[in-house]
Amino acid sequence: MINPNEVNSLIRLLDDPDGEIFEHVYSKLLSYGAEAISYLESAFEQAFDPILQERIANLVHEIQFGNLKNDLKLWNQSGAFDLLQGILIINRYQYPDLDEQKVINQIEAIKRDIWVQMMNEASPKEQIKLINHVFYNIYGFSGNTANHLDPQNSYLSQVLETKKGNQISLAIIYSIVAQKLDIPVYGVNLPQHFILAYLDESRQSEFESGILFYINAFNKGFLFGRRDVDMFLKQLNLKFDKQFYEPCSNTDIIKRVIRNLISAYENLGSVDKVRELNELLGIMESNKSTI
C-alpha cells in the first residue's frame, strides 16, 4: 500500500521549476504505478495551473500506457487465445477508464438474441442468415463508409455504441459472437480488406481446408466463394498466397487493428499516438505467440 500523504506531497511538487526535482518526483510517482492514478486524477480536478494539469495528465497516461504494454505482452506470450480480451486491451489505449464488463455484456446480448432464434438443425448458410438478420437488421451494424479513416472505427467500445465500424472491427464482433454460439467463423487477413470464413472440415467443400464460404461483415454479411477472392487478388495484381484464403491467428488480427490505428492517426497528424502504437506493434512482432 502506498502512503496517501507521501503521494499527495509528491504531486504538489510536480510543478516545481527545478528540473532535477521535477524529474525525481515524476519518476517516483511513476514507480507507484496504477495505485497512484486515483490520487493524480483527484489532484488534476483541483489544479488550476495548466502546467501542473498537463504534467499530471502526462503521468497518468504514461502509467496507463505502461500497464497496457504489459497486458498486451502477456496476452501475446500466453498464446493469444481470447480475441475479445486482445481487442479490449487495444481499446484501453483510447478508453483506459472504460467499464469492460459493459462491452462484454453487449457482446453477450447479441449472442443471446441470435441463440433464442437459432434452430438446432440449421445449415451453415441458415445460421449465417440468422446472424445477419440480428446483427444488421435488429442491431443496425453497418460499415462506416462516410468516415472510413476515423480511428473510432477501430475501438470496440465505440463500434458497439455507434454500430458503425471498419472491415476488421465489424468482422471481430461478428466472429466473436459466432464462436460463442459454436459457429466456426474465423477472420481471413485479405490485403486491403478483411473477411470471414465459415470453416467446417466435416462437410464437403470446394476448398482443401474445409472452408464452405466467405462472409463480408462490412457488407451486411454478404456470402461469396473462392472465385471472388481470386478475382479480388487479380484486381490487386497479387499472386496466389495460401494466407489470403485461410483463417489467420488472433495475433495477426490484433496487429492489423494496430496498423489501421497507426494509419488513422498518421492521417490526423497525431505524431505521439503513431509513435506509441508503433511500440504496441513492436510488442506483437517481437514477442511471437507460442502457438
What the block records as the C-alpha cell of 150 is 476515423
- Classify 253 as helix, strand or coil: helix
In this model, does residue 86 exceed pLDDT 90? yes
Residue 253 CA to residue 49 CA, distance in Å, equals 42
Identify the residue with better confidence: 145 or 287.
145
At residue 66, the pLDDT reads 95
- % residues pLDDT > 90 (the chain): 67
How would residue 107 be classed by pLDDT, with cut points 50, 70 and 90?
Answer: very high
What pTM was estimated for this model as a whole?
Answer: 0.90
In this model, does residue 290 exceed pLDDT 50? no
Radius of gyration from C-alpha coordinates of the chain? 22
At residue 289, the pLDDT reads 42
Spatial CB neighbours of 232, under 8 Å, sequence gap ≥ 6: 190, 193
Residue 284 CA to residue 243 CA, distance in Å, equals 19
Per-residue pLDDT tens digits for 35-70:
999 899 898 888 888 888 889 999 999 999 999 999
Per-residue pLDDT tens digits for 178-211:
999 999 999 999 988 999 999 986 765 555 578 9
At residue 291, the pLDDT reads 37
- Tell me which amino acid residue 17 is: P
Per-residue pLDDT tens digits for 112-151:
999 999 877 789 999 999 999 999 999 999 999 988 899 9
Per-residue pLDDT tens digits for 237-259:
888 888 889 999 999 999 999 99
Spatial CB neighbours of 130, under 8 Å, sequence gap ≥ 6: 114, 117, 118, 122
How would residue 177 be classed by pLDDT, with cut points 50, 70 and 90?
Answer: very high
Per-residue pLDDT tens digits for 8-40:
889 888 888 888 988 999 899 999 988 999 899
At residue 164, the pLDDT reads 96
Residues 94-107, mean pLDDT to the nearest whole number: 96
Q: Across the strands, what pairs with 198? A: 185, 213
* Residues of each domain in the chain carrying CATH 1.25.10: 4-77
Q: Specify whether the CB–CB gap between 168 and 194 falls below 8 A.
A: yes
| CATH number of this structure's domain 4-77 | 1.25.10
How would residue 288 be classed by pLDDT, with cut points 50, 70 and 90?
Answer: low
At residue 204, the pLDDT reads 54
Q: To the nearest whole number, what is the mean pLDDT of the chain?
A: 91
Spatial CB neighbours of 145, under 8 Å, sequence gap ≥ 6: none
Per-residue pLDDT tens digits for 259-283:
999 999 999 999 999 999 999 999 9
